[in-house]
């Protein structure tokens, strides 16, 4: 092996192994010459060194080969008839072929070499050539080809990576931005158009403050000028940015604020040296959280407002009332709390339905708000109850003015869907500090005062006094004792006989309830029944009386005392129960008393409350064999046009008519009329109040 071979170990190794260097295994080589013997000689040399080569005899064949395939290396003769090597060089330059061309020619003149190199030839080898020199030149050219291929591949990958990065950034749901060291935008992604309505050109070069809502500028100074990096950088801070998105409904561009969640971190020219001098700017993202903020606002609104009227609810009223008390205590001022309950609302709700009732409540709320001052708070307490907070009042007269204004406005009719509706209000008023020094105490005492208005006939107002508190406490105590009495079985059933005027015999009895209190003794019904109706306990009392009466009368019949008929009272609450008929039948079966021995007494007012619900139930009971009586006839609606629709057997004349009979004054004519009507309708007649 010669010294020249040692200086070229790769080439020597290729010679020995009859293979090219590994990086050139796939090299495509084109050999071009116009003399066949020279072309064949060159082919043998190249293949001897392990390269694959394609032969082109003359310029025209070379042109065809270059047009039809791609080559890494071309060994080209210059002097050829027809299409010369210079023409091929011009073609390669014109078509921007990437192959390397080594000129192998006997024309070694300076002008020929210069022209060849000028036209893009990689190198020049003079004929006759040395094999080692030619192979070395080929490997240098192929090495350059390999480097250029690698460079092209890296550039292609880099371009794809940049395009992917650009796609990801511009397709991001977040606004991605960069600021220079002065706080001006140097980059924004495409999201800015959809999110804020600005084009990139609108903001590039502009200071960030031009996009920040005025109310958030102070907070933005610390966010957009962020210099920290890593975990200490700004994350998930809420900020409002200006938007000028077009409103499609009106075709206008309106500036508004968009809630965003901002992240930001500093950028440095040398990340290892984070100094003021190296600070290059800020990078960050902004995410549109408007929907989330809107959802939070809805949740917060629902937590502190009534969903029907959109008025503050109890929780918000409590907060404002406690704050107003604190301020009043500090400033030594008064405040008023009103508790308002609508009169006749239940009648509207039951007659026209809950939908109409809801609309009426909205109308009432709007009308009440028109009566208040700017600092007052109107709250829906529940159902048809409202509370009013009146801070900063000087005297009771200030509250009286508002109360009278409310009553005057509510007494005016409400017209909804052609219905003219009338509601009044009962208003209780509690003043701070006279009626209490806490919000809970003021509301409770205003509620007590409101019940006193209800007891006086409704549609008015009343200030709370300590005397009312005592009465209210007594009422609470009575209610508690009433509930305990039901549990402990303190109620008893008394029976009032019903006597026939014709025969003088007892034809039936009416079951009446009495309360034998453990301490107070026997309590008359008029003392506890109104409270029982108000609290809903009347249903339990009625069912107790009915079960007791059915059992006792059934035992009388089994003892041979005759077919005694028992009358029991029914209230509207009991009749409105969905399973009233089933419960009634169950009580009869449990006692063994036949239905024909039972007479159910119901007042006119109860019948008229909800005829569509009550009448079918009464008909079902009548079908079982029970009798139906109208109690206290003549004191209620006295709607004679409806009388024939009711499945009744008996009329009971109220004791007020019987007790006032004065034949010499002609008042007995009322009784005569009722008697005649009962006979005409084939109804039995019972008169109350004849005990004396």
pLDDT digits (tens, 9 = 90+) for 618-628: 888 888 888 88
Residues 70-112 pLDDT 10s:
898 999 988 889 888 888 888 988 888 888 899 888 776 767 6
Q: Is the peptide bond before 274 cis (omega within 30 degrees of 0)?
A: no
**pLDDT score of 4 more than 50:** no
Distances (CA, A) of 294 to 249, 288, 523: 20, 12, 60
pLDDT band with cut points at 50, 70 and 90 for residue 124: confident
The Cα–Cα gap between 183 and 181 comes to: 6
- Average of pLDDT values for 227-248? 80
| pLDDT score at 635 | 61
| 365, 311 Cβ separation under 8 angstroms | yes
**Residue 208 DSSP one-character state:** G
Average pLDDT across the chain, whole number: 82
Sheet holding 460-463, edge to edge: 377-382, 385-393, 334-343, 424-432, 460-463
Residues 152-208 pLDDT 10s:
778 777 777 766 666 666 667 888 899 998 989 999 988 888 888 898 889 899 999
- Per mean pLDDT, which range of 177-181, 231-235, 506-510, 602-606 is the poorest? 602-606
The Cα–Cα gap between 86 and 77 comes to: 9
- Per mean pLDDT, which range of 34-43, 498-507, 603-612 is the poorest? 603-612
Residues 352-409 pLDDT 10s:
888 898 999 999 999 999 998 888 999 998 889 999 999 988 888 999 999 999 999 9
- Per mean pLDDT, which range of 85-89, 111-115, 132-136, 307-311 is the poorest? 111-115
**pLDDT score of 50 more than 80:** yes
| pLDDT score at 350 | 77
**pLDDT score of 1 more than 50:** no
The Cα–Cα gap between 387 and 397 comes to: 19
| pLDDT score at 681 | 67
Q: SS3 letters for 512-568? A: EEEEEECCCEEECHHHHHHHHHHHCCHHHHHHHHHHHHHHHHHHHHHCCCCCCEEEE
* DSSP string over 70-84: --SEEEE-S--SSS-
Run of H or E including 132: helix 131-170
Provide the percentage of residues in the chain whose pLDDT is more than 70. Answer: 85
| 131, 2 Cβ separation under 8 angstroms | no
Residues 630-674 pLDDT 10s:
776 766 555 565 666 677 777 776 676 676 666 555 556 667 777
| pLDDT score at 571 | 83
Residue 338: both structure tokens together: 């009103």
| pLDDT score at 14 | 45
- Residue 412's Cβ-count burial label (10 Å; 0-12, 13-18, 19+) is exposed
| 580, 546 Cβ separation under 8 angstroms | no
- Average of pLDDT values for 448-474? 79
**pLDDT score of 30 more than 50:** yes
- Average of pLDDT values for 542-550? 89
- Average of pLDDT values for 482-504? 85
- Per mean pLDDT, which range of 64-78, 306-320, 330-344, 514-528 is the poorest? 514-528
The Cα–Cα gap between 134 and 120 comes to: 18
Provide the percentage of residues in the chain whose pLDDT is more than 90. Answer: 17
**pLDDT score of 683 more than 80:** no
- Per mean pLDDT, which range of 7-11, 84-88, 122-126 is the poorest? 7-11
């Amino acid at each position: 092996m010669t010294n020249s071979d040692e200086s070229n170990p790769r080439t020597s190794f290729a010679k020995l192994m009859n293979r090219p260097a590994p990086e050139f295994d796939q090299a495509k080589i084109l050999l071009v010459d116009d003399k066949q013997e020279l072309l064949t000689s060159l082919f043998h040399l190249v293949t001897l060194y392990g390269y694959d080569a394609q032969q082109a005899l003359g310029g025209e064949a070379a042109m065809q080969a270059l047009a039809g395939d791609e080559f890494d290396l071309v060994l080209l003769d210059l002097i050829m008839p027809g299409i010369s090597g210079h023409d091929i060089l011009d073609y390669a330059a014109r078509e921007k072929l990437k192959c390397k061309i080594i000129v192998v020619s006997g024309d070694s003149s300076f002008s020929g070499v210069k022209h060849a190199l000028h036209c893009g030839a990689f190198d020049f080898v003079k004929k006759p050539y040395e094999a080692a020199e030619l192979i070395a030149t080929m490997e240098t050219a192929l090495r350059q080809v390999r480097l250029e291929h690698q460079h092209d591949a890296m550039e292609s990958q880099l371009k794809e990576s940049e395009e992917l990065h650009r796609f990801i950034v511009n397709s991001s749901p977040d606004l991605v931005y960069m600021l220079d060291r002065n706080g001006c935008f140097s980059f924004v992604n495409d999201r800015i158009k959809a999110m804020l309505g600005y084009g990139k050109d609108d903001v590039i070069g502009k200071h960030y403050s031009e996009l920040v809502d005025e109310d958030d500028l102070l907070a933005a100074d610390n966010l957009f000028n962020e210099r920290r990096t890593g975990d200490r950088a700004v994350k998930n801070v809420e900020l409002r940015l200006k938007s000028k998105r077009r409103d499609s409904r009106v075709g206008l561009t309106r500036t508004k604020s968009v809630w965003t969640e901002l992240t930001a971190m500093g950028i440095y020219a040398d990340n290892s040296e984070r100094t003021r001098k190296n600070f290059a700017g800020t990078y960050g993202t902004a995410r549109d959280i408007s929907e989330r903020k809107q959802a939070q606002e809805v949740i917060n609104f629902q937590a502190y407002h009534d969903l029907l009227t959109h008025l503050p609810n109890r929780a918000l009223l409590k907060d404002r009332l406690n704050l107003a008390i604190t301020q009043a205590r500090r400033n030594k001022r008064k405040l008023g709390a009103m508790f308002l309950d609508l009169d006749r609302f239940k009648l509207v709700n039951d007659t026209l339905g809950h939908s109409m009732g809801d609309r009426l409540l909205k109308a009432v709320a709007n009308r009440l708000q028109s009566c208040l001052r700017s600092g007052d708070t109107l709250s829906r307490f529940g159902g048809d109850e409202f509370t009013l907070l009146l801070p900063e009042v000087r005297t009771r007269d200030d509250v009286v003015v508002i109360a009278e204004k409310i009553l005057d406005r509510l007494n005016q009719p409400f017209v909804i869907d052609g219905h003219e509706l009338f509601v009044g209000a009962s208003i209780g008023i509690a003043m701070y500090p006279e009626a209490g020094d806490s919000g809970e105490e003021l509301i409770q005492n205003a509620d007590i005062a409101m019940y006193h208005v209800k007891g006086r006939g409704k549609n008015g107002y009343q200030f709370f006094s300590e005397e009312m508190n005592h009465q209210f406490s007594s009422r609470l105590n009575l209610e508690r004792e009433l509930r305990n009495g039901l549990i402990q079985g303190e109620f008893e059933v008394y029976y009032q006989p019903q006597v026939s005027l014709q025969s003088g015999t007892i034809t039936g009895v009416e079951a009446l309830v009495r309360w034998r209190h453990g301490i107070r003794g026997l309590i008359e019904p008029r003392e506890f029944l109104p409270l029982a109706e108000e609290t809903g306990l009347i249903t339990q009392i009625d069912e107790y009386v009915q079960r007791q009466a059915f059992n006792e009368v059934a035992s009388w019949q089994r003892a041979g005392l005759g077919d005694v008929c028992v009358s029991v009272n029914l209230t509207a609450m009991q009749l409105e129960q969905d399973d009233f008929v089933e419960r009634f039948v169950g009580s009869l079966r449990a006692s063994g008393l036949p239905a024909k021995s039972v007479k159910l007494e119901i007042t006119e007012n109860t019948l008229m409350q909800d005829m569509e619900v009550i009448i079918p139930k009464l008909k079902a009971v009548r079908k079982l064999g029970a009798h139906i009586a109208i109690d206290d006839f003549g004191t209620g609606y006295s709607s004679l046009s409806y009388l024939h629709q009711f499945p009744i057997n008996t009329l009971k004349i109220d004791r007020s008519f019987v007790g006032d009979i004065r034949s010499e004054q002609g008042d007995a004519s009322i009784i005569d009329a009722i008697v005649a009507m009962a006979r005409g309708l084939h109804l039995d007649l019972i008169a109350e109040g004849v005990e004396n």
